[in-house]
Each structure stands twice: as structure tokens, then as C-alpha cells.
Structure 1
Amino acid sequence: MSALSKQGHWFLSAPALILFAVFLLAPLVMTFILSFHQFDFYGGIDDSYSLKNYADVLGDSYFYEIFGRTFGIALATTFFCIVIGVPASYFLNRMRPAARSVMILVVLGPLLISVVVRTLGWAIILGNKGVINNFLMNIGLIERPIKMMYTSGGIVLALVHVMIPFMVLAVWAALQRQDPSTEAAAESLGASPLTIFWRIVLPQAVPGVLSGSLIVFSLSASAFATPAILGGRRVKVVATAVHDEFMNTLNWPLGAAIAMLLMVAILVVMVAWNRLVENRFGRAYA
């Protein structure tokens, strides 16, 4: 019976495994193979294989700048999501059920709108003739528009708006597992609200912060629509560089190599982050 039961589990999971293989693994394998092909501007993609594309990327400081900018934007987005998301999750956890339901809908609201629509909204707000610059000029605080479009700061601001729900939900899930009596005990001993938050709540929320930051960082590092619209060609990130190689120069093998290097870099960060969570917090919360 046990052997049949194990075979039954495999049969039940077979449809999901087939979909996973067809729609995720197969394109990744094809992209990986494509990255070793050679490209000629007159002859197109040929059948020869080499490491030239990877050597071109790893040996060019231009790509190092793009990768550095990409991960810098992802780190800044993750930092601001933590600063905003942790207090928001704390207050969400302390709300009454009715108010909490409304607030969860508000938090999830950005996810219900297309990322392109949200980014175009930020373009209207941050443009030289946008809402912020027009307001500041009308009240006399500035004489000329502040440059917010086509900057890394503008991309980070829009990405925070896109990614904050993932951080809030991850931290809130961690806070739901804490024992409410610990806060009551600290309050009975005379601890201030700030001390309770810093010494009691925050340590118990750390696993949620780490898991949420992992999600935010990986999604921010691979984001395309927001950097493409708000950054344009002035602030190029890895995702837009891959798009340019595929759609503009038609150098698909080089674009595939850049995409594979981005995936490997993100996977390295994810594995290291998971190892940190397991080593430092896995035993405490087992």
C-alpha cells in the first residue's frame, strides 16, 4: 500500500510537473543553449558554440555598470519596502477584523492594476510637467522642474509602490505566529511601546522581513516595465539591456547570455538568503 501510495502522489503531481517542464524548464534550457551560439550581423545566428558571449559580458565594464545599477535599485527598493512594510504590518496585525479586511484590500490594491498602468501613472506624477513639479512651481518653491523622470530614484519610488504588498503580507504572516502574551507581559513590566516594538515585535518579525525582502529583491532585480518606462535609455538595467539585444540589435545569443547571468546572480542571492534564514532563525522557529 505504501508503494502504491507513493506512486499515486507522483501521478497526482504529474500534470503540474508537465506544465512546469513545458512552460518554465524548456524555455530556460533553450535560452541557455542559445547563449552559446555565435551571432553575425550579416549572417545572423550560426550553429557554432563558444563562450564568447559570456566573455563579452564579463569582460566589458559597460555591463558591470548595468548590473551594478540593477542590484543597487533592487537593494534600495528592498530597504524602503522594509522601512514602510514592517510598521504597516504591525498596525495591520493589531487592527480589528473588520478594519483589517479593508486594510488588506488597500494593501493588495496595487496588485489588481496592471504594472504598466501604475508606471504610467507615476510618469504623470514625476514628469517635468507632472503633478509634483507643477505644484511646487505654482506655490513658488522651485523655478524650474526637478528631474525625477529617467533617474534611478524615480524607478525606486515606483518599484516600492509595486513591491510593498509582498513585504507587508510576508511580515504580517510572521507576526500572526507570535504570542500576544509576550507584549502584554512586557507592558505589565513597564516597557514603553517603542521598547516593546524594538525588543519583542521586531525580532519575531525578522523571518517575515527576510522572506519578504527576498521576494522584493528578486522581483525588483528582474523588473522590466517600470525601468523601461521611467528609466528609458538613460537609466538602463539588465532587463532592458536584454530587451535591446533581442529586439533592437537582434543579437539573441548575447541577450540570452545576459539573461542567464542575471538569473544566476539572483539565484545566488536567493540561496545565500535562504541559508541565512535557516541558520539563524530556522531552529528558533521550528
Structure 2
Amino acid sequence: MTPGNRAKPWLLTAPALVLYATFLIVPLFMVLLISFFSFDFYGGIQRTFTWKNYVDIATDAYYYEVYARTFGVAAAVTAISIVLGSTEAYVLSRMRKPWKGLFLMIVLGPLLISVVVRTLGWALLFGSTGLISQALQLLGLSSGPVSLMYTNLGVTIALTHVLVPFMVIAVWASLQRINPSSEAAARSLGAGQLTVVRRVILPQIMPGIASGSIIVFSLAASAFATPEIIGGRRLKTVATSAYDEFLNTLNWPLGAALAIILLLATMAVLVSANRLIERRYSAVYS
């Protein structure tokens, strides 16, 4: 291969690489740089290198609680999305036209609506005078008003509604690659429907579940609008805490440090989970 031919792939991808670097790498580098600056209440941001922001986060129990809540909610949303999204995708894949396209649009329809609008809709349902509270009282399951606002459960439910379509899309893509004859072959050998799903379908859609889990977990961990509206001031997540540091206290270095730690922790969780899944997946089929 001549030098000119070797350079062609780089020339073709250069615009995408420049765009990627401009809108992702450079902003992240700037946030990382700011996280090492110091902050003075009267003097503002001081351009002096310091580890103080990271030390403050590492030595303050409040931030441990914030990160634990953030990743706990993200893990719960991911687990629920796996169950709901995989089931929905499997049922949709077995539907016939035109019902398949219709119900697929219903499942993916929330993606066409703003996250803020959807979250505000849940806020109306979660209030002490909302439909959920009234239904529980009407059924005799509660003796008084029930509010899911400012609770981890409320944030988890709202985030699941927002993010479960991403899991459906990922699992749906894996289901489309499955040969239908494999299910028929399993049934002809005497396997029941539950066995077919557990031993034939589930192993083949694991790549879709893994990719969907990565998307859902990362989006849930970094979500801002839903935790801010449903969680409010009582339940701080890393995203809302960083927002407060940037715009309320104007302590940009501390907010940047919170964001960088969130990014690194999310990447560590996702890489570890991906390696574990790949190891178990390869062990089954090796």
C-alpha cells in the first residue's frame, strides 16, 4: 500500500475527528483543567494548581451519600429497564403487522416528547393530591395522602419511563438477528416456552441487554432534569450538585471536580460490567 493510500482513511475521517475533538474532547479537557483551580468566595476562581477540590469531596461524607444515591438509582433504573425493556422487545418481535409497527411507535413515543414535559407529568401524578395518591386512598391501601415527590422511588420510576425505550431498541436489534428456526428446533426437542426463552433466546440477546444497560446506566447516572424536578432539594444527585456549584455558589472548580469524578466512576463501572459480561458470555460458548 502506497503512502497516499494509507493516508486516505485518515483524510476521510478527519472532519469527524475534528468535530469529535471540538465538541467533546476540548470541553472535557477544560472541565478537567478547571477542577484543579482553587476558589475564593471573594476573589472567585484562582488559577493555581491544587488538589483541594478532590480532597474536599473525598473527605466529606455528604458527597459519599450523593454518589451512593446517584449510582443506586442508576442501578435500580437499569435493572428495571432490563426486565421491562427485554419483555417489551420480545413481545413486539412476536407481533404481526400492522400491530408490530403500531405498538413499537407507542413504546418509542416518549422519545418524541421533551424529558422535562414527561417529568412534569410524573410530578403531577406523584403529588399528595395526584392520581396515584387518590387511587391508593380509594382502594383502601392508604389512610391518607401519599406523595412520591422527593423520594428515591419517585425518581426511579420517572427515570425508568424516560430511559426504558433505549433498552427496547437495543434488545430489539438483537432479536432481529435470531433465526426463528432455533426456537422451533428447541420446541421439537420437547423444550417448553420458558426453557426456550431461558436457554435459547436470552443467551442470544445478551449483547443487546449489555449495550442497553450501558446506555441506560450512563444516562441515569448523569440525568439532571428528572432528579431536579422529582427529587428537588431533598435528594441531591451528582448532576444537580454540580449544577448548584456552577450556577448558585459559582464554585466552578468544585463543580468540575464532581463532574470529573462522576465521569471516571461511571466509566469504571461500565468497563467492569462489560468485561464481566463478556467473560461469562465467552465462557458459556467456548
Q: TM-score range by the shorter chain?
A: over 0.9
* Letter matched to residue 163 of structure 1: L
Give the Cα–Cα distance (whole angstroms) in 2 for the partners of residues 282 and 102 of structure 1.
36
Q: Partner residue of 1:58?
A: 58
* Alpha-carbon distance, 1:80 to partner: 0.5
Aligned CA-pair RMSD:
1.8
Aligned to 1:70: 70
Give 1:126's aligned amino acid.
F
Q: Does 1:196 align with 2:159?
A: no
Structure 2 match to 1:137? 137
Range 15-24 or range 97-106, more displaced: 97-106
**Is it true that 1:146 corresponds to 2:162 in the alignment?**
no
Distance 1:285 1:44 in 2: 58
Q: Offset of 1:284 from its aligned partner?
A: 7.5
1:98 match = 98
Question: How far did residue 143 of structure 1 move?
Answer: 3.1
Amino acid at match of 2:45: I
Distance in 2 between residues matched to 1:115 and 1:125, nearest whole Å = 16
- 1:163-178 matches, within 5 Å, as 163-178=163-178
Aligned-residue offset at 1:59: 1.0
Residue deviations 1:2-49, cap 9 Å, x none?
A: 532332222221111111111111111111010000101011111211
Q: TM-score, normalised by structure 1?
A: 0.94
Please give the alpha-carbon distance, in whole angstroms, between the structure 2 residues aligned to 1:62 and 1:263: 19
Partner secondary structure for residue 6 of structure 1: helix
Corresponding pairs, count: 286
Distance, in Å, in 1 between the alignment partners of 2:47 and 2:271 is 34
* Cα offset, 1:135, TM superposition: 3.1
Residue 221 (structure 2) aligns with: 221
Compute the TM-score of the two structures, normalised by the length of structure 2: 0.94
Deviations 1:158-217 (A, max 9, x none): 011011111111111112222222210111122221221122111212221111111111
Secondary structure (helix, strand or coil) at the match of 1:48 reads coil
Deviation per CA, 1:212-236: give whole Å up to 9, x if none: 1111111100000000000001111
Give 1:270-285 correspondences, 5 Å limit: 270-281=270-281
Aligned residue for 2:162?
A: 162
Q: Which moved more, 1:257-266 or 1:187-196?
A: 187-196
2:190 paired with 1:186: no
In structure 1, how many angstroms separate the alpha carbons of the residues matched to 2:218 and 2:5?
Answer: 37
Larger mean Cα displacement after TM superposition, 141-150 or 49-58: 141-150
Are 1:24 and 2:13 counterparts? no
- Residues 34-70 of structure 1 show CA distances to partners (whole Å, capped at 9, x for unaligned) of 0000101011111211101000001111100000000
Deviation digits for residues 63-107 of structure 1 (CA, Å, limit 9, x no counterpart): 000000000000000011011111111111112243222222112
| Higher alpha-carbon deviation: 267-276 or 31-40 | 267-276
Distance 1:76 1:141 in 2: 25
Which of 132-141 and 261-270 deviates more?
132-141
Superposition deviation, residue 285 in structure 1: 8.2
Runs of 5+ consecutive residues of structure 2 not aligned to the other structure: none
Query: Following TM superposition, by how much is the alpha carbon of 1:108 offset from its aligned partner in structure 2, in angstroms?
Result: 1.3
Counterpart position of 1:6: 6
Structure 1 residues 182 and 230: CA distance shift in structure 2, 3 A:
same
Q: In structure 2, what is the equivalent of residue 108 of structure 1?
A: 108
Q: Which range moved further: 139-148 or 234-243?
A: 139-148
Q: Which runs of 5+ in 1 are unaligned?
A: none
1:216-258 CA-partner distances (Å, limit 9, x unpaired): 1111000000000000011111000001111111111000000
Structure-2 separation of matches of 1:38 and 1:57: 14
The 1-side partners of 2:242 and 2:219 are apart by 16
* Matches of 2:107 and 2:115, distance apart in 1: 15
Cα separation, partners in 2 of 1:199 and 1:283, compared to 1, 3 Å: closer
